[in-house]
Structure 1
Amino acid sequence: MSKKVVILHGSPRVSGNSDILAKEFKKGSEDAGNEVKKISFPMRFINYCKGCLGCVSSGECVIHDDMSGILEDMVDADVIVFASPIYFNTISGQMKTMIDRLTPKARQLNDKDYYFLFSAASDNQKSLEPAVCELRGFLNCIGVESEKGIVFGLNAESEGEINHNENALNQAFEFGKNS
């Protein structure tokens, strides 16, 4: 049965290492017959959450930017993928900004399958634990017990360097194929 998949690419760079992992996941998922939408943050305008809590009562954010469309795509999805480069051992600021804006529809996001795709200059998977904790913290808040899979794309500092990590590329493709 075909699924709707949304890939959230939270990097300021298009065609960077996390984007390459996202494209591999997308290829695998499309090969499996799924409908895939990849949303790249450099192409979107997302403001910071104001913390006004207006969305709690209305279910809608008071800020009018690209986030409302992203939220709709996420609510409609069966599978959500977070693809982020690692900056100072955690997710990108762009990804965190987007997560902070999920409050209006958070309760509608708990019945999805989640995958994490990370690219990092580090060769030490343990250094990515803060990023994993950050995203697991979000999942915990919305009532999701665990993610379906994580790709650790290590040793990828320069643009395109992830292409030398066949294990990470294959894992992203296979997760997509099995999503």
Structure 2
Amino acid sequence: MSKKVVILHGSPRVSGNSDILAKEFKKGAEDAGNEVKKISFPMRFINYCKGCLGCVSSGECVIHDDMSGILEDMADADIIVFASPIYFNTISGQMKTMIDRLTPKAKQLCDKDYYFLFSAATDNQKSLDPAVCELRGFLNCIGVESEKGIVFGLNAESEGEINHNENALKQAFEFGKNI
């Protein structure tokens, strides 16, 4: 049965290492017959959460930007993929800004499967623990027990360097193919 997949590419760079991993996941998922939508944050305008809690009573964010469409896509998906470069051992600011804006649809996001795709300059997977903890913290808040898979794309500092990490590329493709 075909599934709807939303890939959230949280890098400020188009065609960077996390984007390459996202494209591999997308290829695998599409090869398996799934419907995939990749949302790249450099092409979107997402404001910071104001903390006004207007969304708690209305179910809608009071900020009118590209986030409303992203929320609808996420609520409609079966699978959600977070693809982020690692900056100072955690997810990008763009990814965190988007996560902070998920409150209006949080109840609709708890029945999804989640995958994490990380690209990092380091060769030390343990140093990505804060990024994993950040995303698992979000999942915990919405009642999701755990992610379905994580790709650690290490040793990828320069743009395109992830292409030398065949294991990460293959794992991203296989995760997509086997959802």
Q: TM-score, normalised by structure 2?
A: 1.00
Deviations 1:54-94 (A, max 9, x none): 00000000000000000000000000000000000000000
Deviation at 1:8, TM superposition (A): 0.0
Distance 1:51 1:168 in 2: 37
Structure 2 counterpart of 1:146: 146
Q: Which residue of 1 aligns with 2:166?
A: 166
Could you tell me how far apart the structure 1 residues matched to 2:115 and 2:32 are? 16
The structural deviation recorded for 1:32 is 0.4
Kindly, what percent of the aligned residue pairs are identical?
A: 95
Residues 103-161 of structure 1, C-alpha deviations (whole Å, 9 max, x = no match): 00001100000000000000000000000000000000000000000000000000000
Matches within 5 A, 1:94-133: 94-133=94-133
1:102 Cα deviation (Å)?
0.1
Number of the residue aligned with 2:14: 14
String of CA shifts for 1:22-60, please: whole Å, max 9, x gaps.
000000000000000000000000000000000000000
Aligned residues: 179
How far apart in 1 are the matches of 2:32 and 2:77? 16
User: Partner of 1:82: helix, strand, or coil?
Assistant: strand
Corresponding residue for 1:27? 27
Secondary structure, counterpart of 1:50 in structure 2 = coil
Gaps of 5+ in 1: none
Unaligned runs of 5+ in 2: none
Q: CA RMSD in A?
A: 0.2
